[in-house]
Amino acid sequence: MEKLIISAAICGAEVTKEQNPAVPYTIEEIVREAKSAYDAGASVIHLHVRWDDGTPTQDKGRFQEAVDAIRKACPDAIIQPSTGGAVGMTDLERLQSTDITPTPEFATLDCGTCNFGGDEIFINTDNTVFNFAKIMKERGIKPELEVFDKGMIDIALKADKKGLLVHPLHFDFVLGVQMSATLRDLVFMAGSLPPGSTWTATGLGKNAWHIAAATISLGGHVRVGFEDNLYLEKGVLAKSNGEMVAKAVAIAKLLGREIATPAEAREILSLKK
């Protein structure tokens, strides 16, 4: 089986220090969390940034500062800025994270509108998806196609039909937000991809660890981190993203799956660098 790429979603836009004091806001805290994940075996750092008071932002300068600082601490890590940002941000605001120097090799592309709980809606119309895909293709950025249900795979395939994506495609299944996170769901999503695609899966909250274990067994790649889950196990808050990456590494070891280095992850994902 292909080596396992572990992505660490270290910060997110929604989780707070009130929920887990280790959630990073400042640049120093973001670097601390990126390094803990990288040292534990993560090759991809999925990045959101915050102002020092925790407010989510897609500010280009803040992203530049965070990426430069992470790069110093984790020289070969694959840094994947979010273009999702936070609910309610405009498309232009969100795209700022792709406009830093050097141009990111990888970034997320959210492939549809999603119910985020309560009255929160994360809006990604077809035109938003196509426009983000076009800009990322022009800039030479590989999109990680974030899909929160099967319909979003279909929207990504519409973008592909328009020639807006470069093969092989890479997907991230975000399960447990608007779609449930059973093993049947996971197998259905993995079976719905075009041949040759690679995929990562993320289980939100209490879904994190059964989705990680099943994904490792199925040959997919795994995302863990504070953005998706704050607990190492039921009732035990994770002290760092590194602790969660270490748990994913331990599960992989039990199941006989080796961990990809950043260089190997770049090969598997066909990243340009």
For ligand KMH, the binding residues (CB under 6 A) are 13-14, 82-84, 86-87, 108, 110, 122, 146
- Chain center to CA of 214: 18
21 vs 55: CA distance, rounded Å: 15
Judged by beta carbon distances under 5 to 8 A according to partner kind, the member of ligand KMH, Zn ion, none in contact with residue 146 is ligand KMH
Could you give the count of Cα atoms lying within 13 Å of 226 in the half-sphere of its Cβ?
A: 32
- DSSP reduced 3-state for 144: strand
Q: Quick one: the chain helix, strand, coil %, rounded to 5?
A: 40, 20, 40
Shortest distance in whole angstroms from residue 199 CB to ligand KMH: 15
- Closer to ligand KMH at the Cβ: 146 or 149? 146
Select from 77-85, 86-94, 116-124, 187-195 the region that touches Zn ion (CB under 5 A): 77-85
Q: Residue 108 CB, nearest distance to ligand KMH (Å)?
A: 3
Task: Tell me the residue ranges of DSSP E strands in the chain.
Answer: 6-9, 44-47, 49-50, 56-57, 78-81, 106-110, 114-115, 121-122, 142-147, 170-175, 198-203, 221-224, 231-233, 236-237
Residue 82 found at the interface with Zn ion (CB under 5 A): yes
> H or E segment at 154?
helix 150-161
CB 46 → Zn ion: shortest distance, Å? 6
Contact flag: residue 83 with Zn ion (CB under 5 A): no
Task: In angstroms, give the least distance from the CB of 99 to ligand KMH.
Answer: 16
Q: Which residue is nearest to ligand KMH (CB)?
A: 84
- How many other C-beta atoms can be found within 10 angstroms of the C-beta atom of residue 3? 16
Which CB sits closer to Zn ion, 230 or 257? 230
Nearer residue to ligand KMH within complex by CB, 123 or 218:
123
Nearest distance, CB of residue 108 and Zn ion, angstroms: 6
The minimum distance between CB 82 and ligand KMH, in angstroms, equals: 3
207 binds Zn ion (CB under 5 A): no
Angle at Cα 221 formed by Cα 230 and Cα 142, nearest 5°? 100
Stretch that binds Zn ion, among 17-25, 58-66, 78-86, 231-239 (CB under 5 A): 78-86
Question: Would you give the end-to-end CA distance of the chain in angstroms?
Answer: 24
In terms of Cβ atoms closer than 10 Å to its own Cβ (0-12, 13-18, 19+), residue 141 is: buried
Specify the stretch interacting with Zn ion by CB under 5 A; choose among 71-79, 80-88, 208-216, 254-262.
80-88
| By the rule CB under 5 A, 241 interacts with Zn ion | no
When asked if residue 128 is in the footprint of Zn ion (CB under 5 A), the reply is no
Which residues lie near Zn ion (CB under 5 A)? Answer: 82
